[in-house]
Amino acid sequence: MEVDKGKGEAEETRKVAEADRDTVTLKSSDGKLFEVSKEAAARLSTVLAGMIAGGSIDDNGTDLKQIGSEALENVVDYCNKHANSIPSAALISSSISFNTAPFKEPEEWERKFVDRLSHDALFDLVEAANFLGMERLLDVTCHKISEMMKGKSPDQIREVFNIKNDYTKEELEEIRQELAWAFYDD
């Protein structure tokens, strides 16, 4: 009886310790573990916030099977850098007015953060941000990709995004004629 009681107490203290932990451990698709502050994760990612609130966070590493280690490393890096830079109130108000407000320009450090990424890393990161419901990171990465697209021809765009050209030659010519003005630079 005594032993059982001791066991129960130990269990209880372990639970309390778990609840008090201020980091969450995330596991990438290839099994690497990353730690990120619980507060930042909950603030920046709607999905992680839901998981934390719902108690589905695993101490030995919450499986994120859809995200590779490189992308997850960038996500965690972003969370850590973000942790103290923006008050949560600003973020809340930005998410409410998201549909109507013009897009917010990325801040200097965010710009640098995405600028150093390779093409593939950027694409993986934008998908990870989309998957985790990270509104702000999605904003920043989408902004970067749209900047990349601005000076490119349709052929280059197809190559970058791996899109198949499903127009026939004649159709393409017709559309090009209709939109000829758009192909001239001012």
Partner 1 sequence: MQPITAHTHFFSLAFSLSTPSCSSLSASLLGLLPHLHRPSPPPPNPIANSLRGGGLRTRLRDGRRIGTSHGVAAWLHGRGSGPFSHYRPARMASTKACARVDGRVMPVLAASNAGDLPPDVMYEILLRLPAKVLCRLRTVCRFWQLLLSDPEFMAAHASCRRELPLIITGYNCYVSKTSLANIMDLSGDIIKQCHEHAPQPRLYHEHRRR
Smallest distance from partner 1 to CB 69, Å: 9
Q: Report which secondary-structure segment, H or E, holds 48.
A: helix 46-54
Comparison of 3 and 179: residue with beta carbon closer to partner 1: 179
In the block, tokens 């997850």 appear at 72
Q: 13-18 — which CB contacts under 8 Å span 24+ positions?
A: 18/59
Comparison of 22 and 181: residue with beta carbon closer to partner 1: 181
Q: Which residues pair with 62 in a beta bridge?
A: 26
137 vs 81: CA distance, rounded Å: 12
SS3 content of the chain, % helix, strand, coil (to 5): 60, 5, 30
Comparison of 23 and 66: residue with beta carbon closer to partner 1: 66
Smallest distance from partner 1 to CB 171, Å: 9
Comparison of 15 and 158: residue with beta carbon closer to partner 1: 158
Instruction: Provide the binding-site residues for partner 1, judged by CB under 8 A.
Output: 29, 46-47, 50, 65-68, 71, 99-103, 120, 123-124, 126-127, 130-133, 138, 142-143, 145-146, 149-150, 153-154, 157-158, 161-167, 172, 175-184, 186
